[in-house]
């Protein structure tokens, strides 16, 4: 198991989060090793997406601590500090959220150019290389509206990678795609994981989670109910709730 030896890059400890009266996370703890791939599964409304948003500081937490690389996420106050964190932690969304007024290439180039202030020529080369990597070199001048869902999502992944993050967060990135295009996006993520990118995925693709994850967490009602390597969690779940969920989705 990689996480037994490698140092953890993400440490989530007893995180509580609530929107007004509604408590979404009720004490969640887990760690991710550098280069590790962690999948979070569970029913809708169990707080999975909120958990990811807490990790890159989009959503503030009320109690507990989150440490990512050298950042204490729960302590970050100013926008400047949050921006420093987000240069290291990039997120890919369910609805792609590409910038519709920019071409695929411009979408990938924007953040490195304006946020990291890198040389436009170098950024361009890197962006084309990334689009080639996700299999969309031919579509670099297309606008998001001209691309299919799967293609948009791959551009979104390239856009996140262009920031050269330490950690990638994937928030149900295949949930809005039709079954045929799911594969092309999953292949892209698989490639990343094999290259040693630290990934945290919220997903409903159980077969994919089983194949790719080092560790799987099953969440329900704002808590992690059960964790373990995919082989154990999927084949020999210990908790009744996990068994009930898996019997529904597998």
Binding site for another protein (CB under 8 A): 56, 58, 79-80, 82-84, 86-87, 89-91, 93, 95, 97-101, 110-111, 114-115, 145, 159-160, 163
Quote the least distance from Cβ 120 to another protein, whole Å: 15
Q: Is 24 left (phi over 0), alpha (psi -120 to 50) or beta?
A: alpha
> Between 134 and 216, whose beta carbon lies closer to another protein?
134
In whole angstroms, the minimum distance from the beta carbon of 245 to another protein comes to 28
CB 116 → another protein: shortest distance, Å? 8
Q: Using the structure block, give the residue that is written with the tokens 């519709």.
A: 100
Q: How far is the CB of 84 from another protein (least distance, A)?
A: 8
Among 73, 76, 225, 86, CA closest to 168: 86
Whichever of 102 and 241 has its CB closer to another protein, that residue is 102
Strand-pair partners of 112:
none
Q: Which CB sits closer to another protein, 58 or 138?
A: 58
Name which of 170 and 234 has its Cβ closer to another protein.
170
The CA distance from 57 to 76, in Å, is 8
Q: In what order do the strands lie in the sheet with 71-72?
A: 22-33, 8-19, 63-68, 71-72
Least distance between another protein and beta carbon 58 (Å): 6
Tokens (6 digits) for 97: 């959220």
For residue 225, give every residue at least 6 positions away whose Cβ sits within 8 Å of its Cβ, in sequence order, or none.
Answer: 42, 218, 219, 239, 241, 242
67 vs 82, beta carbon nearer another protein: 82
């Amino acid at each position: 198991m990689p996480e037994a030896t490698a140092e953890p890059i993400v440490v989530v400890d007893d995180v509580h989060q609530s929107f007004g009266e509604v408590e979404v996370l009720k004490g969640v703890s887990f760690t991710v090793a550098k280069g590790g791939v962690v999948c979070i599964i569970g029913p809708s409304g169990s707080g999975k997406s909120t958990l990811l948003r807490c990790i890159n500081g989009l959503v503030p937490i009320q109690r507990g601590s989150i440490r990512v690389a050298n950042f204490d996420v729960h302590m970050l106050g100013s926008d400047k500090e949050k921006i420093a964190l987000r240069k290291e932690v990039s997120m890919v969304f369910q609805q792609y959220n590409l910038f519709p007024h920019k071409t695929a290439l411009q979408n990938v180039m924007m953040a490195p150019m304006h946020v990291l202030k890198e040389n436009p020529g170098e950024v361009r080369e890197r962006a084309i290389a990334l689009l080639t990597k996700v299999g969309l070199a031919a579509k670099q001048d297309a606008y998001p509206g001209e691309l299919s869902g799967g293609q948009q999502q791959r551009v979104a992944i390239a856009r996140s990678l262009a920031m050269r993050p330490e950690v990638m967060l994937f928030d149900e990135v295949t949930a809005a795609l039709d079954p045929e295009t799911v594969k092309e996006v999953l292949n892209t993520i698989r490639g990343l994981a094999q290259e040693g990118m630290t990934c945290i995925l919220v997903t409903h693709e159980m077969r994919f989670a089983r194949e790719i994850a080092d560790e799987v967490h099953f969440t329900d009602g704002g808590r992690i109910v059960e964790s373990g390597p995919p082989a154990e969690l999927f084949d020999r779940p210990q908790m009744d709730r996990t068994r009930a969920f898996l019997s529904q989705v597998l």
